[in-house]
């Protein structure tokens, strides 16, 4: 029985790309890689180093968390001390008024300490806690010297409140407590919180430089305004407000330049009224002289009033 002849499988024609099939395009990453001026091998090398650095940082953080770095640092400091890198000398310069005993108690605690264990920033911060010290420079001078330079504040005034006297600098910082009369020629500020307003006071006096050198003190009145005391014994009451006080002080300086108000028999000037100025004369010891001089003084005061639009006796 003859079997049916098998038909050879028909060859399929290779299908070409369908007109609707899209050709795959390069991703934006590939395009970016092609734009960079590096080869693929160089980029791989960079990525490898980045990964290694990240792993190293992670290992360091883990070791520090476990306390291993502190132990290693202590061993390193001990080896440095054996090699001669140990504090043997602590010279301190710039001290004149500051309490030297306090400074040496602080800095000499670093003596015989290994140089790597010396915390320079902490020493400086501790020194700045003392009022007299404006700044401190701390430096290692290898192998065995820890050099400290002190920059002191300068006293600018005596601050008096409730019977207590203190030296203060130009920023109102208390430097030291003193007794009455120990301030020398420094001006005296009176009143609670007067030290907090010394910067504003200096700015006010700078507006009348001719009078600034004659001011012996100032009183902060009612936490709102100043009374100025002069070396010749007079008191000048200024109004509230920086601008108003500066204007009144300039007006007084002009009047003093024309009529020489300071150093006479006037003891008090009141410029709180922006439209008029008032002054008070010193009492006379002898009644006869008071009577004989009153007419002349009144005549002169009237002349001042007429010339300066409102200066009233």
In the CATH hierarchy, which fold is given to the domain comprising 86-152?
Ubiquitin-like (UB roll) (3.10.20)
> What residues in the chain have per-residue pLDDT under 50?
1-4, 23, 68, 76, 287-313
Closest CA to 195 of 225, 166, 162, 228: 166
pLDDT of 108: 80
Residues 6 or more apart from 178 whose CB is under 8 A from it?
158, 165, 166, 167
**C-alpha R_g of the chain:** 42
Specify the pTM. 0.62
User: Smallest Cα–Cα separation from 236: which of 224, 226, 246?
Assistant: 226
pLDDT at position 282 is 86
Query: Would you state the torsion angle of the CA atoms of residues 179, 151, 124, 194, taken in this order, to the nearest 10 degrees?
Result: 40
How would CATH label the architecture of 157-312?
Answer: 3-Layer(aba) Sandwich (3.40)
In tens, the pLDDT along 8-60 reads 555 555 555 555 555 455 566 566 656 666 666 676 777 777 776 776 676 56
Count how many Cα atoms sit within 13 Å of the Cα of residue 210 in the half-sphere of its side chain: 12
């Amino acid at each position: 029985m003859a079997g049916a002849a098998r038909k050879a499988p028909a060859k399929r024609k290779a299908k070409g790309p369908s007109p609707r099939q899209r050709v795959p395009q390069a991703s934006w990453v590939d395009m970016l890689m092609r734009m960079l001026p590096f080869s693929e091998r160089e980029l791989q090398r960079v990525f490898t180093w980045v990964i290694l650095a990240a792993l190293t940082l992670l290992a360091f953080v883990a070791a520090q968390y476990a306390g291993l770095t502190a132990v290693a640092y202590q061993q390193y400091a001990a080896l440095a001390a054996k090699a001669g890198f140990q504090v043997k000398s602590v010279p301190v310069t710039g001290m004149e008024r500051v309490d030297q005993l306090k400074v040496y108690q602080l800095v000499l605690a670093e003596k015989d300490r290994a140089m790597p264990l010396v915390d320079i920033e902490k020493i400086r911060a501790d020194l700045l806690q003392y009022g007299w010290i404006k700044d401190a420079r701390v430096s290692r001078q290898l192998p065995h010297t820890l050099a400290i330079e002190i920059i002191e504040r300068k006293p600018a005034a005596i601050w008096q409140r409730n019977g207590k006297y203190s030296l203060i600098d130009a920023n109102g910082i208390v430097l030291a407590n003193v007794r009455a009369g120990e301030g020398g020629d420094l001006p005296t500020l009176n009143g609670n919180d007067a030290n907090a307003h010394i910067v504003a006071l200096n700015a006010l006096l700078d507006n009348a430089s001719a009078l600034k050198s004659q001011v012996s003190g100032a009183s902060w009145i009612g936490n709102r305004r100043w009374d100025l005391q002069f070396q010749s014994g007079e008191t000048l009451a200024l109004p509230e407000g920086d601008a108003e006080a500066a204007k009144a002080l300039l007006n007084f300086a002009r009047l003093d330049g024309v009529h020489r108000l300071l150093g006479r028999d006037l003891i008090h000037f009141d410029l709180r009224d922006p439209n008029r100025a008032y002054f008070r004369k010193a009492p006379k010891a002898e009644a006869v002289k008071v009577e004989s001089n009153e007419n002349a003084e009144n005549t002169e005061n009237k002349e001042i009033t007429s010339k300066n639009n409102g200066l009233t006796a």
